[in-house]
Amino acid sequence: MALGFFENGARRRLDQILAVDLGSRATKAVHLQRRGDGFSLTRFALLDAPIFEKTMSPEMLAEHLKAVNQAVQAKTKMVSLTASVNDALVRHVEMPRMPVEDMRLILKHNSRGYLQQDLTNYVFDCHVIPAGGDGKVEPAKVAANQGKQKVLVAGAKKQLVEDFVEGAKHAGLVADQIVPGLIGPVNAFEKAMPEVFAKEVVALVDIGFKCTSICILQEGELILSRVVGMGGDRLTTAISETMNISYAEAEGIKVGMPGEVQSALESVLMPLGRELRASIDFFEHQQDRPVAAAYLTGGSARSELILQCLQHELMIECKTWNPVSFLHNGLPSAQAAELEHVSAQLAVAVGAGLAAL
């Protein structure tokens, strides 16, 4: 899925891409290259995110992208950027059958009619969900829908898209895609776990710094997505308050010896777990299908203890998965050893890259 906000429906697929996940705490970048039938990961980088008030200016983005590009040493100018879960909305909508270009125009002029919100100065992109979910069209279903179709709509402020394009340009790059961050793990999961993706009902949970997203997939179709305003930052803050220590010390304990602060972690993960469980309950009630397991990514998914605490709240198996498992390892040897520790954090970047390839 691309949902890239650009009018490039019939565009060519690229051979290589620099994909940059602009997280609120950490920027994650990967360089992906086509290799035979698959793809190769030739470089990755994690950098501190720039600090800004409300939105990142194009100038600041340009400086940051220059630093990213230097770290990754990408051999391409084409870049795929992510819009955060707060900057890009993703919704399911029913729309009449028509070309995607027309849908985008209709949404632009009548966002309230379809999204129950006045979204002026937004740009939209649409992904038509095949009837039957697995691509098999059931004639009876189509007839019952009276020519309507299910569409996954992504929307972002026009200004944000323009700023991203501008920022990339000033860094000597060309923005090929701007992908809603939420879509990243879905794209990567499809490639990394094709069997589970196609046949099961699972929840993909990405625990970020400020936010956590949950996407529920049923046999290859994204059915439900939600964002909860809680992430790694809240965990560290809670530890620092409970123990009366600085944020930096709390962060060190959380990452280095989380067992020492287990009860603080448990109590702050409880509300997050409850919110996620509520989304799962909602899905299960609506679709009458149980969610088999939750697959976690994001920085906090690196912690076994956090995983266990969430599993306790969600009451389904919570596991990590490797979003780079399907990629040929083309990394320099110094990076190859490091990859194992950070791969859970790269899901969004990998998915944003796949949207362009």
List residues near ligand ATP by CB under 6 A: 23-26, 49, 84, 208-211, 231-233, 236, 251, 254-255, 298-300, 302-303, 306, 345
Q: Which is nearer to ligand ATP, 49 or 142 (CB)?
A: 49
57 or 237, CB closer to ligand ATP?
237
| Nearest CB to Mg ion, comparing residues 23 and 58 | 23
Q: Which is nearer to Mg ion, 23 or 180 (CB)?
A: 23
The secondary element (H helix, E strand) that includes residue 210 is none
149/345 with CB nearer ligand ATP: 345
Residue (196 or 211) nearer to ligand ATP, CB: 211
CB of 213 to ligand ATP, least distance (A): 8
Cβ of residue 84: shortest distance to ligand ATP, in angstroms?
5
CB of 344 to ligand ATP, least distance (A): 8
SS3 letters across 288-338 = CCCCCEEEEECHHHHCHHHHHHHHHHHCCEEEECCCCCCCEECCCHHHHHH
Q: At its nearest, how many Å lie between ligand ATP and the CB of residue 115?
A: 23
Taking CB under 5 A as the criterion, which residues in 262-321 touch Mg ion? none
- Positions in 141-160 near Mg ion (CB under 5 A): none
Contacts of 287 (CB under 8 A, 6+ apart): 201, 218, 223
Query: What six digits make up the tokens of 80?
Result: 């795929």
Q: Which is nearer to ligand ATP, 4 or 208 (CB)?
A: 208
Least separation in angstroms between residue 298's CB and Mg ion is 6
- C-beta atoms surrounding 15 within 10 Å: 14
Residue 203: strand, helix, or coil: strand
Of 155, 185, 208, 273, the residue at the interface with Mg ion (CB under 5 A) is 208
Q: Which does 16 bind (CB under 5 to 8 A by kind): Mg ion, ligand ATP, none?
A: none
**Residue 149 and residue 119: Cα distance in Å, rounded?**
22
Q: Which of 83, 131, 123, 132 is nearest to 103 (CA)?
A: 123
Cα 2 from chain centroid?
A: 12
> Left (φ > 0), alpha (ψ -120 to 50) or beta: where does 213 sit?
beta
As measured in angstroms, the least distance from the Cβ of 177 to ligand ATP is: 18
Residue numbers 22-61 binding Mg ion by CB under 5 A: 23
Tokens at residue 193, please? Answer: 């776990």
Cβ neighbour number for residue 133 with a 10 Å cutoff: 17
Interacting partner of 233 out of ligand ATP, Mg ion, none (Cβ under 5 to 8 A depending on kind): ligand ATP
- End-to-end alpha carbon distance in the chain: 11
Looking at the Cβ atoms of 104 and 254, the one nearer to ligand ATP is: 254
In the bound complex, what is the minimum distance in angstroms from residue 86's beta carbon to ligand ATP? 8
Query: Which is nearer to ligand ATP, 36 or 259 (by Cβ)?
Result: 259
CB 233 within 8 A of CB 25: yes
Residue 175 contacts residue 76 (beta carbons within 8 Å): no
Report d(CA 197, CA 343) in Å as an integer.
19
Q: Out of Mg ion, ligand ATP, none, which partner does residue 84 contact, by CB within 5 to 8 A per kind?
A: ligand ATP
Which of the listed partners (ligand ATP, Mg ion, none) does 299 bind, with a CB threshold of 5 to 8 Å by partner kind?
A: ligand ATP
Nearest residue to 307 via CA among 258, 251, 243, 240: 258
**Shortest Å distance, C-beta 297 to ligand ATP:** 7
Binding partner selected for residue 210 from Mg ion, ligand ATP, none, CB under the kind-specific 5 to 8 Å limit: ligand ATP
Residue 231 binds Mg ion, judged by CB under 5 A: no
Residue 137 is given by DSSP the state: P
Tell me which residues touch Mg ion (CB under 5 A).
23, 208
